[in-house]
Amino acid sequence: MPIKDRYVKLDPYWNILAGCLRPVKLGFMYAYIPGVRYSDILVGVPKEIFKNEKRVAVSPAGVQALVKQGFKVKVEAGAGEQSKFSDDQYKEAGASMADTKSIFACDLVLKVRAPVFNDALGQHEAELLKPKSTLVSFIYPAQNPSLMEKLSKQKCTVLAMDQVPRVTIAQGYDALSSMANIAGYKAVVLAANNFGRFFTGQITAAGKVPPAKVLIQGVCAVFFTLRPAALEQFKSFGAEPLEVDVTESGEGVGGYAKEMSKEFIEAEMALFAKQCKDVDIIISTALIPGKRAPILITTDMIESMKDGSVVVDLAAEAGGNFETTRSGELYVYKGVTHIGYTDLPSRMPTQASTLYSNNILKLLKAISPDKDYFYFEPKDEFDYGTVDHVIRGTVVMQDGKNLFPSPLPKTTPPPTPVMQKTVAELEAEKFAEVSPFKRTMTSACIYTAGLSGVLGLGMISPNSAFTQMVTTFGLAGIVGYHTVWGVTPALHSPLMSVTNAISGLTAVGGLVLMGGGLTPSSLPETLALLAAFVSSINIAGGFLITQRMLDMFKRPTDPPEYNYLYAIPGVVFVGGYGASLAGGFSIEQMMYLGSGLCCVGALAGLSAQGTSRLGNALGMIGVAGGIAATLGALKPSPELLSQMSLAMATGGTLGLTVAKRIEISDLPQLVAGFHSLVGLAAVLTCIAEFMIEHPHLDAHPAANMVKTVAYLGTYIGGVTFSGSLVAYGKLQGILDSAPLLLPGRHMLNAGLMAASVGGMVPFMMSSGYATGLSCLLGVSGLSTVMGVTLTAAIGGADMPVVITVLNSYSGWALCAEGFLLDNNLMTIVGALIGSSGAILSYIMCVAMNRSLPNVILGGYGTTSTLGGKPMEIVGTHTEVNVDQAIEMIKEANSIIITPGWGLCAAKAQYPIADMVKMLREQGKTVRFGIHPVAGRMPGQLNVLLAEAGVPYDVVLEMDEINEDFPETDLTLVIGANDTVNSAAQEDPNSIIAGMPVLEVWKSKQVIVMKRTLGVGYAAVDNPIFYKPNTAMLLGDAKKTCDSLQGKIRESYY
């Protein structure tokens, strides 16, 4: 804080810590700065002397944090002994050891129990406190007026941990909740230890044992609670609520339940009497601030319970909720075991001390956020739920002046939000609203439209050859549809790579149109040469990168492979064709059929890891056979063959060079770049075909069909070409990955589409060469611009869909060439690739709960988003360091790692793979959970993990692993955000509502590794960061993963 902001007027409330004035010279004058430097404050942590108290106020980790902030810390010798914290641990953390009197003479004293009389010293602990010092402890000022008087005489400032307001901002320092959490957990354990059966039922060969019935007054299982907010929470756990017939809210002030009316209490007691005869275990924790605990279970009710029943009274210290409770004792009354311990948190001292220490540290940091000075100022006027509210409520004494009770805040607490329905519930309601008749009618209309389209194509068919080609296209599309659905998600990246290679069959179109001798003799022939050249880059590069990826999935335990033997069928196929050609046979159409079937086999082979390398080999055979058949049909002159060979060899060499050098993490941009080549080849081929065929169109029986597919092929190719280049730029970081939302972009795209469609009218109507060529060049320009405007408006989060859509476009462009050149092979392969990309696009959209038009047009929000105000995320996050994360990992037996794009960007897969290997060697179950849209293209993370040596059988898809999270000890979220965002299920108004996500928050503990608490690509806050079972490990993913790897190695090797 700047010095000028520290200039304040003198206030009588300031004491040595809560507001000391320190003069600071500013030029020739002095300003006064409130507070004391942390380095000037001596913190004391005494040993607790209350009977059976085993806790300590600050753990060694807490001491380390205080020292790091600048405090000097003294700890009484043996203070942490009962909590399993040795004096040596405190010394290592930076504390010095001292006796009791020295500790209480410190400026700031941190305790658990309120000060009591010290028999050993013959003096009350309050009297040992240094005058005008500050005490932080449980105080209970309403119940301890004499203690408050003693503290007042010492002119102390007192922060009562029991008076921290129950508001959202104070959750991190609410010690009552922390201790109640431990007490409740211990109560269940004690009940289980003293009950004669398992809680769960059991069915064995010896017979059936029923489950225990548990009544918890105030929490869950079969439970009774007065507060509606708690009621809704525990219903969500599957508990059965008990409610009385009298309607009355139990919501009181400050987060507590209020005292109920006489009628309500009578109905309540009747309900309890009935339940006592039925249940086996009762756990009660009803308290009224400042008063004796209410009696909820009478002696008669206890006597009506079954022998062997157990009751646990968590309110025993305040008198007890059971009339038969004996405070601090465990005994049996009328066959019912009574547990009335008053020190349950202290019976788990290490856990309780650690949490209490965290509560105190967070409170001190919250009330005095300044980095250099310790200072806070209680104010009598404050708003609800603010830091001022916390300070005024917690400070019960200031410089000896009793400030208890705190005045009410100026503003009232916000009303309890109405429990909104989950996304799943709303979707179920939406589905139920659609009648079976309407659903069936919609389906029938879709089939009617499809069959009508078939009739229409038959009516406009110019000849039987067109009908045959449509038949081939339809059957190939159906085969491709069913084949692609069988591809395992882990191999989606190799699938896209192999389809990329196969789409290089656009080279066939270029070869067909090439002419001249060693060089082209005309512009169309030059365009055809370029088409063949760029297509060859795709073919060679695509197959090589596919092979590289598939090789990464090999495991050391896999049997040896002899894939080079697949060269035999390749040689027989191509060589046999050459022999048949020499013998005078013309079997090109059968060669095309065989090549097409090989391409189908290439996709089918990717349905399993064991056949994936066979699939890649079949793809190579199919493409080689198709090109050989094309050359055989053309029978080019030696000079032209040399031109063709040189073009394809040059392109192939370039493709191999690029594919060999590319890093696997850069695979998405490689795929995008290769797609652009397919689009460019399609444009060049279509324009060249029109230029060559135009003189013959007047006599061509299917002239209109030729012109239609030439126009469509040019349009699709142009969009694919420019869209792929923009996608490449975004993925490579050349262009900003954020969506470029041009003003009126929808109108711009609509205008471009209208102009493209409109340009087809003169193209089809006119027989002039200049007009036709102008229209083709015009649509190529319009489609190129449209590819830019469409893709630029799509953000980085939607890149997986962009890649798959472009993949589909390249297939349809190849189909258009097949129709244009009356080539069955190009039509078959185009249909395969088009359907492959379409299916992957559908999978990606389902994985985001988005519609394809919504993604392509740069829209926001899922199909389930209601559009209201998003849910407000409240609470504070918990941070851990690497050492704490290592301890959590070592304690966990079942671990799931959910990586995201952050892991890819940081190239952190290598240390993670090594860490997983070490953990698995220690007998831990470690698996990966992959979201379909994690990464920049489908299956990218699977490939990256395979590259690092992670066995593919421990890498599971979202649908395979989601049901395992509740049984998982620890989930590590590395560089993921939107794909693990619980708002997708919890907030119907979120723009990602309904999006399937990895349900990591259901695991017992979560560690989220990110640079910051910032949002992901979808710009949606993530509630899991603030959930109680989540710890944030902030920092660079690569450095953090390296540290985890090193620490794991130190721990086990």
The predicted structure's pLDDT at residue 244: 67
CA distance 970 to 893: 8
- Nearest in space to 836 (alpha carbons), one of 825, 824, 846, 844: 844
Whether 383 sits among the annotated catalytic residues: the reply is no
**Cβ atoms within 10 Å of 851's Cβ, excluding its own:** 13
Structural domain 38-163+349-402, CATH architecture: 3-Layer(aba) Sandwich (3.40)
The predicted structure's pLDDT at residue 9: 37
- Same-fold call for 38-163+349-402 versus 882-1052: yes
> Is 3.40.50.720 the CATH classification of the domain at 175-200+211-343?
yes
CA distance 68 to 87: 19
Does the bond joining 405 to the residue before it have cis omega, within 30 degrees of 0? yes
Residues 6+ positions from 887 with CB-CB distance below 8 Å: none
The CA–CA distances, whole Å, from 891 to 357, 886, 888, 969 equal 22, 9, 5, 9
Domain ranges of the chain: 38-163+349-402, 175-200+211-343, 485-856, 882-1052
Residues in the chain predicted with pLDDT less than 50, given as ranges, are 1-19, 21, 24-31, 219-226, 250, 252-257, 861-862, 864
> Is 3.30.70.360 the CATH classification of the domain at 882-1052?
no
The catalytic residue among 399, 914, 978, 987 is 978
This prediction has a pTM of 0.61
**If DSSP codes are grouped into helix, strand and coil, which group holds residue 445?**
helix
Q: Which amino acid is at 671?
A: V
- Nearest in space to 141 (alpha carbons), one of 164, 123, 118: 164
Helical residues (DSSP H) of 849-881, grouped into ranges: 852-856
| φ/ψ of residue 124, rounded to 5 | -75, 140
Sign of the C-alpha dihedral, residues 359, 360, 361, 364?
A: positive
CA distance 519 to 537: 20
CA distance 955 to 120: 62
**Tokens at residue 970, please?**
């620890």
The CA–CA distances, whole Å, from 630 to 581, 625, 1014 equal 12, 9, 55
The predicted structure's pLDDT at residue 66: 95
The predicted structure's pLDDT at residue 628: 93
Quote the radius of gyration of the chain (alpha carbons, Å).
37
CA distance 1041 to 1045: 6
Buried b (16+ CB within 10 A) or exposed e, 943-979: bbbbbbbbbbeebbbbeebbebbeebbbbbbbbbbbb
| Beta bridge pairs of residue 897 | 928, 972
What is the DSSP annotation of 75-87? Answer: EETTTTGGGT--H
E strand or H helix at 336 = strand 336-339
CA distance 685 to 691: 10
